[in-house]
Amino acid sequence: MQVHQNISLKKYNTFGMAVTAKHFASFGSLDELEEALHFRRDNAIKGILPLMILGGGSNVLFTKDFDGLVLKNELLGIELTKEDPDYVYIKANAGEVWHNLVEYCISNNYPGLENLSLIPGNVGASPMQNIGAYGVELKDVFYELEAYNIEERVVETFSIDECNFGYRESVFKNKYKGKYIILNVTYRLRKKGVFNTQYGAINVELERMGIKEVTIRHISNAIINIRTSKLPNPKVIGNAGSFFKNPQVSKFTWHVIWEQYPDVVAHQLDDMNYKLAAGWLIEKCGWKGFRKGDAGCHEKQALVLVNYGTAKGEDILNLSDEIIASVERKFGVKLEKEVNIV
């Protein structure tokens, strides 16, 4: 394990922000992680050296240089750990690329992750914000995870209840923020999986592809087609996916908006609550396709803010604040950022 000084993070974040980390190291084993944390303690000033764990950098916006230690998680390995009549249990180390895990499961005909195809980033971040797409969330297939308690210097196991998953939320983003490093995640996959194709566009795409007998590979391919048709490829245009969450509002708020805009895109959660499509709200405010310098709002998906090349984190952040203010003025709904601002 080697600690490097003043390293550019440009290639380590999908927004392509050219900030610098004061110290940077990768770890591929628990021993290397402990060595790096030892370095952190030795180099702390008045007991403090900020720490950031980095996976694929696809859910962060760096707005300034990082005056601390960035640790890139490179713990690799995927294995089948257990099998019973109904389920297989797949354990993946946190540094594995998420889509590689999806591919592993599809190739072995283990259903459950196919709807989460092509989400960028690594396994270790998947429980952080309970990743979700096309009708499936991580919590639907989660079994347990192991995480390193930074202060106590021990590995702890978390069950699904202890993770407190919600929409793009977990205990690691809230109560335990900055306290744990996720080392591995075990997923429990049903052997006889139920195909999840309710999310409108999936069936339309399967039909367009001419699929008669659906397999998990077909679902994965359909989702990859849908995603690539509207989400910008971070290798071409910098972004971190949805910049905001879809807001949950009361039935009353939804009704007030609906009376004026009957085309409002909303999903009823229960008798009292609705989830609104933030992309629709932002588009209605006229931001879709907006560009100021190299900071912009994507032309095909208004929920995605983009860096066309030389935008700074501050430019994206300022644009996001302007969008939040304008959506609040027009609809009385306050959008919440989904991306981690560093």
List, in sequence order, every residue forming a beta bridge with 71; answer none if it has no partner: 25, 53
41 given a catalytic annotation: no
Mark residues 247-276: x for contact with ligand EPU by CB under 6 A, - for none. Answer: ------------------x-----------
CB 246 within 8 A of CB 275: yes
Which amino acid is located at 181 in the chain?
I
What Å distances lie between residue 335 and 121, 130, 324, 325, 326, CA to CA?
Answer: 24, 19, 6, 9, 10
CB of 16 to ligand FAD, least distance (A): 11
CB 96 within 8 A of CB 48: no
Interacting partner of 53 out of ligand EPU, ligand FAD, none (Cβ under 5 to 8 A depending on kind): ligand FAD
Strands (E), 74-165: 78-83, 87-93, 132-133, 136-137, 142-149, 154-159
Question: Of 145 and 324, which CB lies nearer to ligand FAD in the complex structure?
Answer: 145
Interacting partner of 288 out of ligand FAD, ligand EPU, none (Cβ under 5 to 8 A depending on kind): ligand EPU
126 binds ligand EPU (CB under 6 A): no
Question: Of 66 and 254, which CB lies nearer to ligand FAD in the complex structure?
Answer: 66
97 binds ligand EPU (CB under 6 A): no
CB of 161 to ligand FAD, least distance (A): 19
CB 323 within 8 A of CB 285: yes
CA distance 9 to 117: 26
- Interface residue with ligand EPU, options 245, 307, 312, 324 (CB under 6 A): 245
Which amino acid is located at 175 in the chain?
K
* Helix (H), strand (E), coil (C) string for 257-304: HHHHCCCCCEEECCCCEEEECHHHHHHHCCCCCCEECCEEECCCCCCE
83 given a catalytic annotation: no
338 given a catalytic annotation: yes
CB of 252 to ligand FAD, least distance (A): 29
Question: Of 105 and 125, which CB lies nearer to ligand FAD in the complex structure?
Answer: 125
Catalytic residues: 168, 242, 338
Give the interface with ligand EPU as residue ranges (CB under 6 A): 133-134, 241-242, 245-246, 265, 277, 279-280, 283, 288, 301-303, 338
